[in-house]
Structure formats: structure tokens, C-alpha cells
Amino acid sequence: MISIRAISAAILLVASSTVAMADTWSKQTKVTFSGPVQIPGPHAQNGVVTLPAGTYIFRLLDSSSNRNIVEVTNTRGNRVYSTILAINDYRLNATSKTVMYFTETKSGTPPAVKAWFYPGDNRGQRFVYPKVKAVQLAATVNQPVPSYEAPVVEKAKVEEIKVVAQTPAKQEVAYAPQTFEKVDTADTAGVDGEAVKPAPAPAAPAAEPQPTKLPTTASPLQYFGLIGAALLAIGFLFRRSAHQFE
């Protein structure tokens, strides 16, 4: 068994986490992993989908009745890797960063994402794994792990999914929030992502500077003097020419 801190430090790094388009309703977040991670995979045979190192979008599906359905896609949003059923998770201190918590796994196996907290939120999304994977995780971490039997997580059918808890002794017991609250609120094994504010709107182009009109300081009297001198010179020339013809 490898400690979750060692796994997180050596294998995983949430290099960046951007609050995409400041969409606080969907909690849309861009997360970059430097190593492979596991997330619940309802369609997968072993109950998980392994995401290679790369950048992904985590967001809540648009539902006013259930705020615990997480969709994981590529950055373009045209490929869905998994639709995940979640339950409420809690932490004592909110941070200004996105935090991804990981569940301990066996040596050589990518860590499994346990919970996702949006910047500034004390309430997050605890991922519920299909039973086949939850049984393995419970035995590894020696703690109850929430699970479900339904093969597909869909918005229209989510109310029909029954969440239970798998114990380390491989027993299935009824789900109760109190089963996880004490452990989850004390969890400090998360990996912080850098919360980047949305890019500011482009500034309006600066107005072109208007030509400055210099104040008028010179007097027009000097021009009158020049005109007068010119007229005197012309008169002198006429008089001189007239004397020559006498």
C-alpha cells in the first residue's frame, strides 16, 4: 500500500485549475493531471475509467433537482469520459483553489479521485464508485466507501439509484451521511490546483489623442508695421521714378 500523500506528490499534480467562464452554477473547472487517475466508470467492466495525463473539464450537469451529477469531458466538450453519481462531501476550511482528493489504491494502480471541491466551497462532490470498485477501495483504505449497483448514471434515472456503503469486511450496509462526514472533514490528502481568474474583458481601444491647440500669444500689430513699411518703400520708388522722367 502506498500512502496517498506519496502518490499525490510523485504521480499527480493538478497543474492548473481554471474556473471556466466563471460559471458558478455548473462549477465548471478545467483540471490538468500530470499522471493517470481513475474516476467512476458506470460502463466499464471494473467500475472505473482511467484518464491519462492531460487536461479535462469537470462540471455539474444542469439539473435543479439534483446537484450531484458530475460530467467529465475533454476541453472541447465534445467527448464525455464519464457521468458520475456523487454525494455531498464536506471540508472544514474552504480554499480559493480547486482541490481534488484522492483515495488510496494498490501499488502500481493510478489513484482514484475521491472528491472534488470548487474554489470557495465547503460542500463538494464525493464520487460514488460502482460496487465492483468500491469493494476494492474499502479493503485498501480500511474505510467504508459509498457505492451503487446501477450500471448507468443518467440525469433522468438518477433518482432511482440507491447508494449504499461497502465496508472493509466486504459487507454492504445502508448509506448514511454520518458514516463519511468525520473522515472526510479531516481529510488533508488533497492536491491543490492553481485557481486562475477568468481573463479580463479586453479593454476598449484608447481614443486617439486630439491635437492640442496652442494658445495665441502673438499680437497682429507686427504685421501692420510690415505692411506700412512695404507701402512706404513702394511710394519712395514711384517718386524716384517720377523725378527721372522730368
The average pLDDT across 17-35 equals 73
Whether 110 contacts 35, CB under 8 Å: yes
Question: In this model, does residue 185 exceed pLDDT 80?
Answer: no
CA–CA distance, 234 with 172 (Å, rounded to integer): 123
Phi, psi of 212 (to 5 degrees): -85, 130
pLDDT of residue 212: 46
| Total domains in the fold of the chain | 1
> Quick check: 176 pLDDT over 60?
yes
Domain that holds residue 145: 4-196
- Largest Cα span, the chain: 143
Worst-scoring range by mean pLDDT, 14-23, 81-90, 139-148, 159-168?
Answer: 14-23
Residue 216 placed within a domain: no
Q: What is the mean pLDDT of the chain?
A: 74
Q: What is the mean pLDDT of the segment spanning 43-47?
A: 83
What integer pLDDT is reported at residue 146 of this predicted model? 93
Predicted local confidence at residue 224, as pLDDT? 53
Contact in structure between 40 and 48 (CB atoms under 8 Å): yes
Q: Report pLDDT for 19.
A: 43
Q: How many angstroms separate the CA atoms of 111 and 7, rounded?
A: 7
Cα 227 to the chain's mean position, in Å? 78
Question: Does residue 26 form part of some domain?
Answer: yes
pLDDT at 214: 44
Neighbour-count burial for 26-51, b at 16+ CB within 10 Å, e otherwise: bbbbbbbbeeebbbbbbebeebbbeb
Name which residue leads in pLDDT, 64 or 189.
Answer: 64
Q: How confident is the model at residue 197 (pLDDT cuts 50, 70, 90)?
A: very low
Which among 140, 106, 112 is positioned nearest to 127, based on CA atoms? 112
Higher pLDDT: 9 or 211? It is 211
Q: What is the pLDDT of residue 207?
A: 54
Is 110 exposed, middle or buried, given 0-12, 13-18 or 19+ CB atoms closer than 10 A?
Answer: buried
Find residue 106's DSSP bridge partners. Answer: none
Q: Is residue 239 part of a domain?
A: no
Residue 211 inside a domain? The answer is no
Q: Bigger pLDDT: 226 or 42?
A: 42
Q: How confident is the model over 213-241, as a mean pLDDT?
A: 57
Residue 210 in any domain: the answer is: no
pLDDT at residue 76 above 70?
Answer: yes
pLDDT at 172: 92
Any domain includes 231: no
Query: How high is the pLDDT of residue 51?
Result: 95
CA distance 188 to 207: 52
pLDDT tens string 91-144: 888 888 888 888 888 888 899 999 999 988 988 999 999 999 999 999 998 989
pLDDT tens for each residue of 7-18: 554 444 443 444
Cell of 132: 465492483
* C-alpha–C-alpha distance, residues 126 and 113, integer Å: 9
Residue of higher predicted confidence among 112 and 150 = 112
Query: Looking at the domain assignment, is residue 208 inside a domain?
Result: no
227 within domain boundaries? no
Residue-level pLDDT at 18: 45
